[in-house]
Amino acid sequence: MGRLVPDAITSCVGLMMVLGATALLLGNPLTKVLDSYYQGLWMLLPFTMQMTLIITLSAALASTPFFRSTIERLSRLPRNANQVMLMAVAVTAFGSYLYWGFGIAGGPIIAVHFAREAERKGIAVDFPFLLACIAAANAPWQFGLSASAPLLVATEGHFLEKLIGVIPLSTTIWSPAAILHTFVFVIVLFTMSCRLMPASRRPISAFPAAAKLADPPPVEEKPVLTLSERVERQGLFAMLLSAALLSWLYVHIFEKGRGLDINSLNTTLLLFTVLLHGSVKRFTDALQHAVLSAWPVIVLYHLYAGVAGLIQFTSVGETIAWAVANVSNPLTFPLVTALNGALFSLFIPSSGGQWAIQGFVTAKSAMAVGVTVQRGILALSVGDHMGNLASPFWYVVIGGIARVDFRTFFGYGLLFAAVWFVIGVVVFTFAPC
Q: How is 2-39 classified by DSSP, letter by letter?
A: TTTS--HHHHHHHHHHHHHHHHHHTT--HHHHHHHHHH
Whole-number Å distance between alpha carbons of 294 and 56: 6
CA-based Rg of the chain, rounded to a whole angstrom? 22
Label residues 417-430 b or e (16+ Cβ within 10 Å = b): bebbbebbbebbbe
Whole-number Å distance between alpha carbons of 237 and 136: 39
SS3 88: helix
C-alpha distances in Å from residue 26, one per residue of 21, 41, 215, 335:
9, 21, 60, 27
Per-residue pLDDT, 220: 60
Per-residue pLDDT, 232: 80
Beta carbons within 8 Å of 276's beta carbon, 6+ residues apart? 61, 64, 65, 66, 67
Whole-number Å distance between alpha carbons of 421 and 396: 21
> For each of the chain's 433 residues, which pLDDT tens digit applies?
456 656 667 878 888 999 999 999 999 999 999 999 999 898 888 888 887 888 788 878 877 888 889 999 999 999 999 999 999 999 999 999 988 877 887 888 899 999 999 999 999 999 999 999 999 999 999 999 889 899 889 988 888 999 999 999 999 999 999 999 999 999 999 999 999 999 999 999 999 999 988 887 666 667 777 878 788 888 899 999 999 999 999 999 888 887 777 788 889 989 999 999 999 999 999 898 888 767 767 888 888 888 888 988 899 887 877 787 788 899 999 999 999 888 877 666 567 777 877 888 899 889 989 999 999 999 999 999 998 898 776 787 788 888 888 888 988 998 999 999 999 999 999 999 8
pLDDT tens digits along 234-283? 889 999 999 999 999 999 988 888 777 778 888 998 999 999 999 999 99
DSSP string across 232-294: HT-HHHHHHHHHHHHHHHHIIIIIS-----HHHHHHHHHHHHHHHH-SHHHHHHHHHHHGGGG
Whole-number Å distance between alpha carbons of 234 and 104: 31
Whole-number Å distance between alpha carbons of 286 and 66: 14
pTM of the model: 0.77
Per-residue pLDDT, 348: 66
Per-residue pLDDT, 97: 93
pLDDT tens digits along 18-57? 999 999 999 999 999 999 999 989 888 888 888 788 878 8
Per-residue pLDDT, 296: 66
Per-residue pLDDT, 217: 66
